[in-house]
Amino acid sequence: MSSRGRTTMELDLFAGVAVGDLDRAVAWYDRLLAGAESFLPNDTEKVWTLAERRHVYVELAPERAGSAMVTLFLADPEPFVAAAAGHGIEPVHRETYENGVRKFLFTDPDGNEIGIGGPPVEAAR
C-alpha cells in the first residue's frame, strides 16, 4: 500500500464489469483485449489476465450493467489502441491532459467506460 506507516503487501487485482448480455460483452472484450489469456470460471463470467495477478472480468449482472469505470495505465498505450482499432474498436474519446498524460476512452456495448492511459510521450521513450 503506501509508505505512510502501512505494511506493504502483495496485491492481486480483479476489476469487475457488470454486463447485460454476456455473449455480446465477451465478443467485445475479446476484441479489445485480444491476445490476453482468458478463462471462463463459470456460466456468468469471463476473465482476462492482463499481467501477472492482474485481471479484468465481465459478469452477467444486468441490473448493474453500464456503470463501470476502469482505467488501465500502460507505459505506451499507442500499440494497444492500434491493436483495438485493428479489431474494429475505436476510442470514443481521446484526451491529453495539461501534464501530457494521455487517455483513450472506450465504451462497451452496455456503456461501461474502459480507459487506456499512458504517460506523456517524452516520458514513454
Question: Whole-angstrom Cα distance, residue 115 to residue 93?
Answer: 9
Which of 120, 87, 113, 91 is closest to 104 using CA atoms?
91
Could you read off the pLDDT of 76-123 as tens digits, one per residue?
999 999 999 999 999 999 999 999 999 999 999 999 999 999 999 876
pLDDT at residue 73 is higher than 90 = yes
Least confident of 2-6, 18-22, 107-111: 2-6
Segment 17-33 mean pLDDT: 98
Q: Which triple of cell numbers denotes residue 89?
A: 474498436
Could you read off the pLDDT of 41-55 as tens digits, one per residue?
999 999 999 999 999
Question: Which contacts (CB < 8 Å, 24+ apart) does range 32-40 have?
Answer: 32/84, 32/87, 32/89, 32/106, 32/108, 32/114, 34/83, 34/84, 34/87, 35/83
| Domain map (residue ranges) of the chain | 13-124
DSSP, collapsed to helix, strand or coil, labels residue 105 as strand
The pLDDT value recorded for residue 113 is: 98
One of 2.40.50.100, 1.10.10.10, 3.10.180.10, 1.10.357.10 is the CATH number of 13-124, namely 3.10.180.10
Q: Which triple of cell numbers denotes residue 98?
A: 495539461
pTM, 2 dp: 0.88
**Do the Cβ atoms of 28 and 108 come closer than 8 Å?**
yes
